[in-house]
Structure 1
């Protein structure tokens, strides 16, 4: 009897050991399901009514966790997959965790180091206080997300460092490896950003440089660690050898009102094999605001003006005016109804994907990247529901 009791005690002790270890770590499953009915006044010349996923927030499912290693050191990871809630399809074919997949170490005194597929500091700092978090990328991103301040750019094979917050300021840097033997610069990426929060003010400035990889004359199927956005706005510059973006944003919040502004420059540079010969810059200036009308109802509005420079045979450069509105009614912290409206007016000329000169086409936010208008204007209206878990 004593022998059996001893065996039982030993078994319970061994079983309890991993439970004690697990008590020092945690794993969270989280996600968003977001669907809306959409009206577009012109998609390649015809109006359309359809369903679209990921408008107020991207539809996604993710896993994140951490473990306390002692001495203020912590290990953590994040895996995140985007999907289309209206069809169930993955956002990126053959890529399970297309949004994020990284592991890292952090401490309050030394900062955080992460490796894997991740967003650049440029987006994480400047995009976080820009128009896309207020008006959503679907209708509030700058035309075609040409400056990548929405979620268009993620860097694979990347190592990133973020400093501790000191006096309200924090800096971050990232390097994405192109992993091309004999040419480490081919397909690589780097980014740096600074943010500063003081009282009712939020400031951020950032930079990122992306190089095209091998295997294709355009970015989509090349070996680049990060790809540039692709829309009618920059279709003629998809053969660029490199792209770089610089942006700054600021916010001021007083009681129920928030006021914000931002400015960005996105430059695309040609190389051998490019279908254009002179670098082009897209500059964007914008202002946005939110007002908490009631605990449940939030109103938002924003305006941006994007313009390109002349060159490559273009005498009247492309320009885009965009107005976006948003109304969100939150039933709870996790469930909300939303209504989005946006209008864009394009002018001037730009390059088509084959390098020919065409009239600039309107493409609202980044929801119409593959369905631009056939003319100079486009209106998009959405009504949807978002639930997070």
Structure 2
């Protein structure tokens, strides 16, 4: 639903209401030693509703805003730590010649650039890298952020973000990130870097303490809340070849801990999706994740596959399956998004559901 009204002879304003509702049934073969059936929301896309608006100021310049709410479709609860507009909340200006400058709660450059290249952008969230260790599936957003996105020059576009700590000094709970994308015909590629300094040390900083990594990440034997510095980087791309689209992605994340030492992840992902018919898409992907924590190293293997059937441009049905194998050094397998770890080094999850966009 949208509305548009003329506010002056040379100015036009538009406000659009939009959203996604996504729910399904999730089966996990081993969740803390038992099989599990759950009603699960946000499988293919996080449920949301939002308002996006713009006002034409003339000369190719616009004032813009976005307010986006996230919620749990299974019980109606607010997402992102109970925030009204926890997914996004920003206002800014854009220009055809100079790009866009926005201020508020926003995605950082690694999320903007690399998030669209990972397989979970078109396969269910359970294909996310273990525990979303690189945060490109948006485990948290950046508060107090100023973002600049350049115009596109010969297929290239730059992305810069700085998140203020909103406290004295600049050393605690601030963040910055930078990235670049390149699009040319069938090729879509990008690279990005993000750095968080003492993240989650307060509820009002750039990376808020009530919306950082989930407690499930404690499986790695270290509280991520004691991170003094987090760095995430990566590069990847997709290439359309007829009815197929091939994808490759690498990301790395390094957590420097207050108690000393580091926790390091390297994720290597390959995927392919294929349009069997204009209404039916099949996809499959593989991720290898290395985990290094001092002398205690390990890895994950994960295979993800699924099909998606379009009932219309707005509504689709999906069926996805996932298999994860953890090395003995890691201990338990735990597919991201399921309700708990396996009691063994393997875990299987299957989800079927419906998604509607408006």
Shared fold, TM over 0.5? yes
Q: Aligned partners of 1:159 and 1:376: how far apart in 2?
A: 42
Q: Aligned partners of 1:251 and 1:344: how far apart in 2?
A: 24
RMSD across aligned positions (CA): 1.9
Q: Aligned partners of 1:163 and 1:285: how far apart in 2?
A: 29
Residue in 1 that maps onto 2:22 = 34
Residue in 2 that maps onto 1:104 = 92
Note the 1:73-222 alignment, pairs <5 A: 73-136=61-124, 138-181=125-168, 183-213=169-199, 219=200, 222=203
1:292 maps to 2:268: no
Decide which of 310, 325, 337 is 1:367's aligned counterpart: 337
Compared CA separation, residues 221 and 39, structure 1 to 2 (3 A): farther
Deviation at 1:229, TM superposition (A): 2.9
Deviation at 1:348, TM superposition (A): 3.6
Note the 1:237-316 alignment, pairs <5 A: 237-238=223-224, 239-271=226-258, 274=259, 277-311=260-294, 314=296
Q: Secondary structure at the match of 2:172?
A: coil
Q: Secondary structure at the match of 2:277?
A: coil
Q: Aligned partners of 1:192 and 1:19: how far apart in 2?
A: 37
Q: Aligned partners of 1:127 and 1:134: how far apart in 2?
A: 11
Note the 1:334-345 alignment, pairs <5 A: 334-345=314-325
Q: Aligned partners of 2:229 and 2:33: how far apart in 1?
A: 32
Compared CA separation, residues 222 and 373, structure 1 to 2 (3 A): farther
Deviation at 1:58, TM superposition (A): 0.8
Q: Aligned partners of 2:10 and 2:213: how far apart in 1?
A: 41
Note the 1:53-68 alignment, pairs <5 A: 53-68=41-56
Q: Aligned partners of 2:47 and 2:286: how far apart in 1?
A: 26
User: Which of the two has higher C-alpha Rg?
Assistant: 1
Residue in 2 that maps onto 1:329 = 309
Structure 2: runs of 5 or more not aligned: none
C-alpha deviations, 1:182-228, integer Å up to 9, x for none?
A: x3220001110000012211110001111235xxxxx4865441254
Compared CA separation, residues 68 and 19, structure 1 to 2 (3 A): closer
Note the 1:342-353 alignment, pairs <5 A: 342-349=322-329
Deviation at 1:300, TM superposition (A): 0.6
C-alpha deviations, 1:3-55, integer Å up to 9, x for none?
A: xxxxxxxxxxxxxx975579701000000110010101122222110101101
Q: Aligned partners of 2:121 and 2:232: how far apart in 1?
A: 19
Note the 1:10-29 alignment, pairs <5 A: 20=8, 24-29=12-17
Compared CA separation, residues 259 and 94, structure 1 to 2 (3 A): closer
C-alpha deviations, 1:68-110, integer Å up to 9, x for none?
A: 0011110000000111111111113441000000001001100
C-alpha deviations, 1:125-171, integer Å up to 9, x for none?
A: 111122221223x2211111111121213101000001000000000
C-alpha deviations, 1:257-290, integer Å up to 9, x for none?
A: 000101111100012xx3xx21121111110010
Moved over 4 A (4+): 17-23, 220-223
TM-score by length of 2: 0.92
Q: Aligned partners of 1:346 and 1:22: how far apart in 2?
A: 61
Q: Aligned partners of 1:374 and 1:194: how far apart in 2?
A: 41
Q: Aligned partners of 1:303 and 1:187: how far apart in 2?
A: 34
Q: Is the 8 A contact 2:80 2:140 kept in 1?
A: no
1:385 maps to 2:354: yes
Structure 1: runs of 5 or more not aligned: 1-16, 214-218, 350-358
Q: Secondary structure at the match of 2:148?
A: strand
TM-score by length of 1: 0.85
Decide which of 206, 215, 219 is 1:225's aligned counterpart: 206
Aligned length: 348
